[in-house]
Amino acid sequence: GAGVSQSPRYKVAKRGQDVALRCDPISGHVSLFWYQQALGQGPEFLTYFQNEAQLDKSGLPSDRFFAERPEGSVSTLKIQRTQQEDSAVYLCASSLMPSGGATDTQYFGPGTRLTVL
């Protein structure tokens, strides 16, 4: 079946622009995660949704970062007033079960590579 998809795959923004990154999780998956992956590094957690509820946003680096999942399926990560340090690959992952002590497999999308000039 279809995996996690993300769009766009590549985004170039001028410093100060707002961007919106989309994630389509696997159908029926309850949990959705956003990660930021800097060049040559491992993914770093940004935020977690259980259905439409954002249960953890402790990894968001600043108040310029905002995520939503209004109907419990598709999610959007928005970055306002982009800065050069925001340049990274943004990964979305979904899992079937709720998190919180669970060890359910996370399935990752291909990521969106954001470059801020």
Cβ of residue 86: shortest distance to another protein, in angstroms? 19
Cα(117)–Cα(97) distance, rounded to whole angstroms? Answer: 38
**Closest separation in Å from C-beta 85 to another protein:** 18
Q: Which of 51, 54, 56, 57 binds another protein (CB under 8 A)?
A: 56
Task: Choose, by CB under 8 A, the member of 81, 97, 100, 115 that binds another protein.
Answer: 100
Q: 104: burial class by Cβ within 10 Å (0-12, 13-18, 19+)? A: middle
The label of the residue with tokens 């060049």 reads: 39
Per the omega criterion (within 30 degrees of 0), is the bond before 8 cis?
A: yes
Closer by beta carbon to another protein, 102 or else 117: 102
Chain positions contacting another protein, by CB under 8 A: 4, 33, 40-45, 48, 55-56, 59, 91, 93, 99-103, 105-111
